[in-house]
Amino acid sequence: MAIQSQGFGQSTHAEKRSWFRRNRDLSKFVLAKLGGGVLTLLFVVIFNFFLFRMMPGDPVGLYNRGRNQDPVQLAKLRAALNRPIWDQFVTYMRNPFAETIDSTRFSRPVWGLIGDRLWPTVLLVGTAIVLASIIGVWIGIRAGWTPGGRFDRISTGFTLILYSMPEFWLGLVLLIVFAVGAFGIPGLFPTGGMISPGLSGGSLRGVLDTGWHLALPCLTLTLVYLAEYSLIMRASVVDELGQDYLTTARAKGLLDSDVRRRHAVPNALLPTMTLIFMNLGFVVGGAITVETVYSWPGLGLLSYDAIKGPDIPLLQAAFLLFSFAVIIANVTADLLYAYLDPRVRP
């Protein structure tokens, strides 16, 4: 009896040590990912400061273009810009998101402008990513489960054709056909903007009108993104077809649909989930070409207007925001993948 108790105690002690070791390794993994993300963010902030100060041009001249400014104010502005570079660097690093920096094109604080344009971009690109991921995953599952079949050949060819089309070109085609009207099809959708003049976005009529304006730009992005999700999901399902656990599941008498739904799809979804979270980082950046084609008042169109200036303060702020969004989304995707698939943990 004493021998059995001693063996049980040794087993429990070993299990505790193994549990602590696993949690320690997992904590190191999470801290390493978070630390790498923080260092990358710091590098982006520093790079962002020096990048736009090396660009040619006279920022004071851009700020004064088309305005009647007081010479005293211009002299103060030049004095502020002519401060030693390290003095400017310290001031910038204290608060890269300072509200005191004005856009040279719009004469407003750059972060206020970005805040006003953020929701239209999230609405457009976020909706397109959700639709593309749902439809693309469904296409990838069905095509990958019967590789080489008729549905696989048609869907793969169709999505690849869409993926090869430039976003602005596809947007122009849809705009001409379904907004302006062509080939006997009348103009069904608005040609641009987010809401018709005179309507309030908070009213039911305004919400429906916004959805009507959203249809074509969202369709454009959805069609372009579709191939990414369908092809990756298809490849993942094909890789899972030869796994032993599927053979075992079939040997137990499970229906083919149950084998696919319960066993193959959850494992094949892992790479697609990572892609979805990585693409969510680009939601903030918007789609410059699509928003420009449809005059959608989001961050993409704002970035295009800033490039035309060039509006250096606005470009600097937009670049910082886009970089932060992508880095945070990548770190989140890494952590999520480790949570869903224990095999990638240390």
The model carries a pTM of 0.76
Pull the structure tokens for residue 103.
Answer: 């856009």
Q: Please, which pLDDT band fits residue 216 given cuts at 50, 70 and 90?
A: very high
Distance CA 300, CA 293 (A): 10
Identify the weakest region by mean pLDDT among 54-58, 209-213, 232-236: 54-58
Tokens matching residue 75: 């002299």
Residues 82-125 pLDDT 10s: 667 777 777 777 777 776 677 777 778 888 888 888 889 889 98
Q: For residue 231, how many other CB atoms are within 10 A of its CB?
A: 21
* pLDDT for res 303: 86
Give the residue among 78, 87, 76 at the shortest CA–CA distance from 49: 87
pLDDT above 80 (res 331): yes
Residue 219's pLDDT band (cuts 50, 70, 90): very high
Say yes or no to pLDDT of 1 above 50.
no
Average pLDDT over residues 2-17: 54
Residue type, 278: M
Q: Report the b/e string of 127-151 with b at 16+ CB within 10 A.
A: bbbebbbebbbebbbbbbbeeeeee
pLDDT of res. 8: 46
Interval 309-328: pLDDT, tens = 777 788 888 888 888 888 88
Confidence of residue 203 (pLDDT cuts 50, 70, 90): confident
Please state the three-class secondary structure of 175-193 as a single string: HHHHHHEECCEECCCCCCC
Helix extents (H) in the chain: 2-53, 59-64, 71-81, 85-94, 110-145, 150-164, 167-175, 204-241, 244-251, 256-259, 265-280, 288-293, 299-308, 312-340
Per-residue pLDDT, averaged over 58-62, amounts to: 57
Cα–Cα distances (Å) from 115 to 11, 57, 107, 122, in that order, read: 58, 27, 15, 11
pLDDT band at 218 (very low <50, low <70, confident <90, very high): very high
247 vs 121: which has the higher pLDDT: 121
Which has the closest alpha carbon to 314: 111, 165, 125, 119? 111
Q: Grade residue 135 by pLDDT with cuts at 50, 70 and 90.
A: very high
The C-alpha atoms of residue 293 and residue 213 are separated, in whole angstroms, by 13
Q: Of 121-130, 173-182, 232-241, give the lowest mean pLDDT range.
A: 232-241
Region 115-344: CATH code: 1.10.3720.10
Tell me, what's the pLDDT at 286?
59
The residues spanned by each domain of the chain are 115-344
Whole-number pLDDT of residue 307: 81
Mean pLDDT of 16-32: 69
- Residue with token string 């429990």: 12
pLDDT digits (tens, 9 = 90+) for 184-195: 788 788 888 888
Encode pLDDT of 143-174 as tens digits.
Answer: 888 888 899 899 988 888 888 888 888 889 99
Phi, psi of 200 (to 5 degrees): -100, 135
